Amino acid sequence: MEFKVIAKCPITRARVSRMVLAHGATMLPTFMPVATQAAIKGLSPEQVESLGVTLILNNTYHLNLRPGIEILKEANGAHSFEGWKHNMLTDSGGFQLVSLSKFTTITEEGALFLNPFSTGEPTMLTPEESISIQHAIGADIIMQLDDVVPSLQQGPRVGEAMERSIRWLDRCIQYHESSGKKDTQNLFAIVQGGLDPDLRNRCLDGMLERKDRVAGYAIGGLSGGEEKDIFWKIIKQCADKLPEDRPRYAMGIGFAEDLLVCVALGVDMADCVFPTRTARFGVALTHTGPVNLKLAKHAKDFSPIDKECPCPTCKSGASRAFLNHIVTHETTAAHALTVHNIVFQAQVMGRARDAIISGVFPDYLRSFFAGYFGNRGYPEWCVNALRSVGVDLLENVDVPVLPGSGAKWEYSDAA
Amino acid sequence: MSSSHISFQSLVCLSANREGSKHKFGPRGGKVLIRNGQIAIDTPGVLTCTSRGVVPHLSRDNVKRTRAIKWVHIPFESFLEHRPPIPTLQPQSGETPRINTLLGFPQEEYVLSMSLRNSADGQEMPANTNAYVTANCIRGMRKASLDWRSYVDSCKPDIIFSLSDTPFTPAPYSQKRLTKSIERSALWLADMLQYPETGPITRPGNIFVQMAGGASAPARSAFAESLVEGLQGKEAEAMRPLKCLDEGVAGYVVEMVPLRLSIQGFHDPSPNPATVTSLIQASLSSLSLSKPRLVTCTRGPHEIIRLVCDVGVDLFDTHWAQHAADVGVALDFHFPAPKTTVELELGHNLYDTKYERDFTSFTSHDLDSSTFCPCPACSPSSVPSSEIIRHSFVDEPGSNVSTSRNPSYTKAFLHHLLHTHEMSAHSLLAMHNITVMDAFFAGIRQLISQDDLSLFEAEVDRFFETYAEDTETGDTGARDERNMLKDDTQVNVFKAAEKAWKEVELLRGKGRLARENEKAKAESTTAANAILTKEMEEKGIEGGSEAVVPMLPDTGL
Ligand SMILES: [Zn+2]
Ligand SMILES: [Zn+2]
């Protein structure tokens, strides 16, 4: 991997970097759309490529079940199997395994689970096995197997999981280095430690010791319903301590405000199913907040979702009335909104890159929040988080500040 | 002459020398000239079906990528859920008709035809009356009568189907019902044609009439004759200078779904092909040869070939091919058929596990590279890097984009997408199947243009010998010696695909339903935690990286 920081925000911790992987360059910070089962819901790789996306996520757990490793090997990996020519990242499969398999037991050796496809026979996913599966998939960035616990888990289990994640990282590194794939595939470590700053610190210390043998760092175990003020503090703690010359990836982050706060705290990459999932429920993301096209108020609105938007949906002149007519009835409505939402996420991050390079990132944050939340009010945690890196969202504006996770959007009520 | 005028240019007719009335019904090649010749559609040719105004599974960029889509047909009834219908409220943008603007079909690139009803919908409907036709939309039944004319006046499609009194009540129909049906259909056509001789709005020259008469040949002939009968009295006055209704008609439409229903009833709609042929001939025999003949909802290439050969039909929709895409079938056939001694299937049921490791494209018998399927699934290509969206000044969207064609999508990939219930499967299949139909018609036209009936018939025979007919949605194919009775043990590709498709749908539905049920039952924290676990599971199913769902503290409630 070639990783170079090309610009830094003079105020916040935000930065722009260029990451070159085996399938081309990707500019960071970036958002990665999720292609769980080897396809971004409803789209073809040519469509995704046309949206200016250069890095997507595939899920190891799913691909391991279907089509399975043997078939992926025969196809020469997931890139060629699914026709994707650009960069790809795979997770370790651990999270889905814990959440999808009912009888998963974690031991020092690995995660023992009942394979839903092999008539309930117990199967062991070890760190070595996870890496070996990711080698067969052939993603440009692969993740270590970590010991996942729910974000709100408390007690000794959290510390145990953190310590084990470090030991598993060693096994992943060992296996990866001996495989000869090190030049084409890049292994990322995942910082764990729950919501406990001490545990996070110990995890960071342990993982930083292995810096020379990992290509980047992810921040895991968040975005699981913890309080937002705790969330950003953990992100900040990790991002502050992670090395300058390694990409930082916040896992499972996808709301626009979360993305921008994370970027301001020094995060380079994020992924989430939210933008593509919400598209299937009829919600278009816009710079003035999410729009639920199922609502009757759009039935006679002949304006596009966003007339400035360069996505194929808006550029074709598709109106809200048109989308309201097909949404939830026709799969193409999901496609239309999926491309729009992917472009929206990419625009939020692309504009951040430009603003960082031009030295006006704090202004961008202020104008984004003003446009996105307007008078609905700013989430208090965003105000707090951005103050911690020297940006006051409330400077010269008079908007309410909302406790909790923030504004009520069209997608969250009365759909 | 209005700007929407349609005409038909017959170029080749292979049966001009057939004796008796047969000369009217041979294979013929020509052009339908639309908007006074601004756009020409070669015939025999195809139109693409839409649902709620969109080509199913295809976003607008994919419609554009599918060059085979040139003519889209819009059933209007889904818009009746609003009154006035949304398309009539679309602000006019320049000269572009409202319906084209709303649905995103630029007039320079697409022909757009419009009917009230969806011709694929054969469900039972309340009877029509003298005053209205019953249509179906998501909010229930709607009545349409003279509003139809105001809708088409407002939407200005390139081609308008007149209203027709087609019974969707169980067959057989009484003589009285048929007589009524004929009378009403003629009356509603007359309504569409009554325009003052001078005035701001001129009589449209783009009306296609649906041929009424059900399964009765005499009734079908009677309807046709009522079109060419001289107009009398007040009617003649209102329709000047037309001497008969037919003079105001630009083309003839036969709808296969109601025709099959009226022949066989609702339960076994598999009529004998000879019956179908003779009924359609009864409709056309007293009518002009110089107007295009359109048949909707045929059951695949065998039926299409019969109708081209024995009726001289010019236009067909791709309903069958689009349905095949819905159920996971990739079509794979050519006309003329490839030289082979084995019998071939018309397509591949990609649910079949035999495709699990099949890394070849959908097309197995590409005769040479010029016939290789040009669709976006078999011949995908990246948009030029200048058209890739840039999100910042430093983006390099051009890196790793090749200008050459990308490798074809494989059967193994589609097999995977179908079994994992990924919508992309149906998009790729729809683009491919529509393209296969377009190529099939190009093959027919090419052969007709050689103006050699016996050569054409020989190729037709070879096609019937090479390809098994879709016997599930078709019939046993009793076209004289071209009859291909197959042994019962062989499961039809289409039937098997439909079954597999339903199974995957059902599995998925069950999972979701079970989760929803439990949600409804949740009352205690324990139950709520169980639901959170389920949601975690759903998030897991959705994929992404670690997005963990919280646990609620157990308060022991
Ligand atoms: Zn857009
Ligand atoms: Zn194709």
* Predicted pLDDT of residue B547: 47
List, as residue ranges, the binding site of A for Zn(2+): 309, 311, 314, 340
Q: In chain A, what is the straight-line distance between the N-terminal and C-terminal CA atoms, in Å?
A: 44
Q: Note the ligand closest to the C-alpha atom of B372.
A: 2
> How many pairs of residues across A and B have Cβ atoms under 8 Å apart?
290
pLDDT for A251-273, tens place per residue? 999 999 999 999 999 999 999 99
Residue A370 and residue A311 in one domain: yes
The Cα-based distances of A327 to A298, A332, B76, B517 in angstroms read 11, 8, 17, 25
Task: Name the residue among B389, B412, B427 with its Cβ closest to that of A42.
Answer: B427
Q: Do B85 and B76 form a contact (C-beta atoms < 8 A)? A: yes
Q: Which two tokens stand for residue B257?
A: 């779904």
pLDDT at res. B216: 93
- Kindly state whether residues A187 and A302 are assigned to the same domain: no
Tell whether the model's pLDDT for residue A54 goes beyond 90. Answer: yes
Residues B263 and B222 in one domain: yes
Whether residue B144 is found in the same domain as residue B231:
yes
Domain match, B487 and B537 both: no
Q: Hey, is the C-beta of B359 within 8 angstroms of any chain A C-beta?
A: yes
**Is B409 in Cβ contact with A50 (below 8 Å)?**
no
Domain that holds residue A238: 2-273
Q: Residue ranges of A for the binding site for substrate?
A: 91-95, 146, 192, 221
- pLDDT tens sequence across A358-400: 999 999 999 999 999 988 899 999 999 999 999 999 999 999 9
Chain A touched by B109 (CB under 8 Å): no
Say if residue B485 is in the same domain as residue B524: no
B66 chain-A contacts, CB cut-off 8 A = none
Please check whether residues B242 and B337 belong to one and the same domain: no
Q: How many domains does chain B have?
A: 3
Would you tell me which residues 5-64 of chain B have a C-beta closer than 8 angstroms to some C-beta of chain A? 51-62
Same domain, A94 and A218: yes
Closest CA to B303 of B259, B252, B362, B352: B259
- Cα angle A378, A382, A383 (rounded to 5 degrees) comes to 75
Q: Are residues B442 and B529 in the same domain?
A: no
Q: Looking at A273, A305, A339, which one is the last position of a domain? A: A273
Q: Does B531 lie in the same domain as B466?
A: no
Please report whether residue B120 resides in a domain. yes
What number of CA atoms fall less than 13 Å from residue A302's CA on the CB side?
14
* B71, part of any domain: yes
Do B345 and B299 lie in a common domain? no
Range of the domain at B545: 512-551
Across the interface, whether the CB atoms of A316 and B409 are under 8 A apart is answered no
Query: What is the C-alpha R_g of chain B?
Result: 26
Give yes or no: residues A102 and A246 share one domain: yes
Task: Examine residue B52 and state whether it is found in any structural domain, yes or no.
Answer: no
pLDDT at B530 > cutoff 60: no
Instruction: Clarify whether residues A54 and A117 are in a common domain.
Output: yes
In the predicted structure, residue A220 carries a pLDDT above the cut 80: yes
B78/A81 Cβ within 8 A:
no
Burial class from Cβ neighbours inside 10 Å (0-12, 13-18, 19+) for residue B108 reads exposed
Q: Is residue B129 part of a domain?
A: yes
Over residues B284-297, the pLDDT tens digits come to 999 999 999 999 99
Rounded CA separation B557/B550 (Å)? 18
What is residue B548's predicted lDDT score, i.e. its pLDDT? 43
Secondary structure (DSSP) of B54-92:
B-TT--HHHHHH-TT--EEEEE-GGGGGSSS-HHHHSPP
Model confidence band, residue B515 (pLDDT cutoffs 50, 70, 90): low
What total of structural domains would you count in chain A?
2
- In angstroms, what is the span from residue A63 Cα to ligand 2's centroid? 25
User: A166-180, B50-64, B173-187, B399-413: which range is least confident on average?
Assistant: B399-413
Instruction: Please indicate, yes or no, whether residues A208 and A245 belong to a single structural domain of this protein.
Output: yes
Closest ligand to C-alpha of residue A314 is 1
Which residues have their alpha-adjacent CB atom under 5 A from ion ligand 1? A 309, 311, 313-314, 340
pLDDT, tens digit, for every residue of A331-354?
Answer: 999 999 999 999 999 999 999 999
Please check whether residues B535 and B503 belong to one and the same domain. no
CA distance linking residue B557 with residue A390, whole number of Å: 45
Among A253, A273, A293, the domain-final residue is: A273
Per-residue pLDDT tens over the stretch B130-147: 888 899 988 889 988 778
Task: Report yes or no: A17 at the B interface, CB cutoff 8 Å.
Answer: no
- B522 shares its domain with B437: no
* Average pLDDT rounded to a whole number, residues B381-391: 93
Determine if residue A352 is left, alpha or beta; phi over 0 gives left, psi from -120 to 50 gives alpha, anything else beta.
alpha
Do the Cβ atoms of B407 and A80 come within 8 Å? yes
A366 alpha carbon – ligand 1 mean position (Å): 22
First to last CA, chain B: 79
B178-205 pLDDT tens trace: 999 999 999 999 999 988 777 777 788 8
From the CA of B437, how far away is ligand 1's center (Å)? 32
> Which among B433, B420, B430, B434 has a CA at the least distance from the CA of B351?
B420
What's the CATH number where A321 sits? 3.20.20.105
- Tell me, what CATH number does B122's domain have? 3.20.20.105
Flag whether residue B414 sits within 8 Å of chain A, measured between CB atoms.
no
Give the chain A residue nearest B380 (alpha carbons): A46
Q: Does A293 touch chain B (CB under 8 A)?
A: no
> Where among B254, B272, B305 does a domain terminate?
B305
Q: Please give the residue that has the higher pLDDT: either B247 or B548.
A: B247
Ligand 2 center to B293 CA (angstroms): 28
Q: Are residues A229 and A309 in the same domain?
A: no
CA nearest A335: which of A307, A349, A316? A316
In this structure, the answer to whether residues B343 and B233 fall within a common structural domain is no
CA distances in angstroms from B46 to B296, B318, B327, B337, listed in the order given = 10, 7, 21, 19
pLDDT per position as a tens digit, B450-478: 999 999 999 999 999 999 887 654 333 33
Q: What is the SS3 assignment for B101?
A: helix
Which of left, alpha, beta for B63 (phi over 0: left; psi -120 to 50: alpha)?
alpha
Residues of A in contact with B395 (CB under 8 A): 27, 52, 350, 353
Say whether residue A164 is in contact with chain B using an 8 A CB cutoff: no
> Does A4 lie at the interface with B, CB-CB under 8 angstroms?
no
The pLDDT assigned to A6 comes to 98
Residue B8: inside a domain, yes or no? no
State the distance from the centre of ligand 1 to the C-alpha of A414, rounded, in angstroms.
23
Q: Are residues B347 and B380 in the same domain?
A: yes
Q: Is B387 exposed, middle or buried (0-12, 13-18, 19+ CB in 10 A)?
A: exposed
What residues of A act catalytically? 91, 271
DSSP tag of B298 = -
If asked whether residues A53 and A123 sit together in one domain, one would say yes
- Amino acid A117: pLDDT: 61
Please state the ipTM of this predicted complex: 0.96
A44 and A189 share one domain: yes
How close B235 gets to chain A, by Cα (Å)?
Answer: 39
Token representation of residue B471: 């016997």
CB–CB of B392 and A271 under 8 A?
Answer: no
Q: Tokens 């096994």 sit at which residue?
A: A171
Query: b/e map of B83-101 (b: 16 or more CB within 10 Å)?
Result: eebbbbebeeeeebbbbbb
Q: Are A218 and A334 in contact (CB under 8 A)?
A: no
Ligand 2 centroid, distance to B428 Cα (angstroms): 8
Distance between B180 CA and the closest CA of chain A, angstroms: 35
Q: What is the pLDDT of residue B549?
A: 40
User: Closest-CA residue in chain A for B421?
Assistant: A37
